[in-house]
Amino acid sequence: MEIISSLQNQKIKNIVTLIEKSKERKSAGLFVVEGLKEVEMLYHSTYEIVEYYIHEKCTTLPDFIRQTKKPTYLVSEKVFDKISYRESTSAVVAVAQTKIHALADLLLSEKPLLIVLEGIEKPGNLGAVIRTADASGADAVIVCEPNTDIYNPNCIRNSVGTFFNKQIAVCTNEELQSFLKTHQIRSFATAITTDHYHYQSDYQQAVAFIFGTEATGLSNFWLTQADEIIKIPMLGKNDSLNVSNSVAICVYEAIRQRAL
């Protein structure tokens, strides 16, 4: 197994670039995953792993890494610190190929439950929503008009690896509206401007919850095109929640209703 100890090694430079720059991830069609739990979830997914980087002091590795035929490199502590982005790590980094995330590729259940995020800007929030989607069993997370890269390391980290378990699609507002109509999925846009609370709607059938950014909310497109506008009760002085909290409140209300 080759050992890399120089920060000037071209492979290390490439990984740092992939971590830091969305443009490079898109150009290369590659992204970086850190942490043993996350890498193992990556391994069991449909993503194609390109290579592994292991901390030189790591003594325990799962069989799927020890027996892999993919290029695997031991790296020194200073090199690993350079290619990792969190303080506590399990000493494994993987590079994998990105995928196309098209609406047409989504596999829907009989009564799909979709989470839609319009214009999301913070990759950490997107990762947290994906984690909620995984926990709740939602069919997919759909990102409309994105202002962040879904392969940003913070997205994958905050999803705690569930990024690799959950269907994700990226599209325009118009593409999603057509998709929802084709599949007869009722859309529920969240906004503080309505008097209709989220628990007053019926989510027994196919549902898409649509959320905007915390700063500006949803665009006029969804405020005029959605089937219903709903809001979560805000009983304090603040008028918004973190988007992952809003998602959880609405999605679990749908789950509660469907369990009745």
DSSP state of 213: B
Where along the chain do its domains lie? 2-97, 103-259
Question: Does the pLDDT at position 88 exceed 80?
Answer: no
Question: Does the pLDDT at position 80 exceed 60?
Answer: yes
- Tell which CATH classification among 3.40.50.10540, 3.40.50.300, 1.10.10.60, 3.30.1330.30 matches the domain 2-97: 3.30.1330.30
Question: Does the pLDDT at position 138 exceed 70?
Answer: yes
Q: How many CB atoms lie within 10 A of CB 193?
A: 9
When pLDDT is cut at 50, 70 and 90, the band that residue 175 belongs to is very high
Helix locations, 44-152, DSSP H: 63-66, 77-83, 123-136
pLDDT digits (tens, 9 = 90+) for 198-241: 999 999 999 999 999 878 889 999 999 999 999 999 988 877 78
When pLDDT is cut at 50, 70 and 90, the band that residue 86 belongs to is low
Topology of the domain comprising 103-259: Alpha/beta knot (3.40.1280)
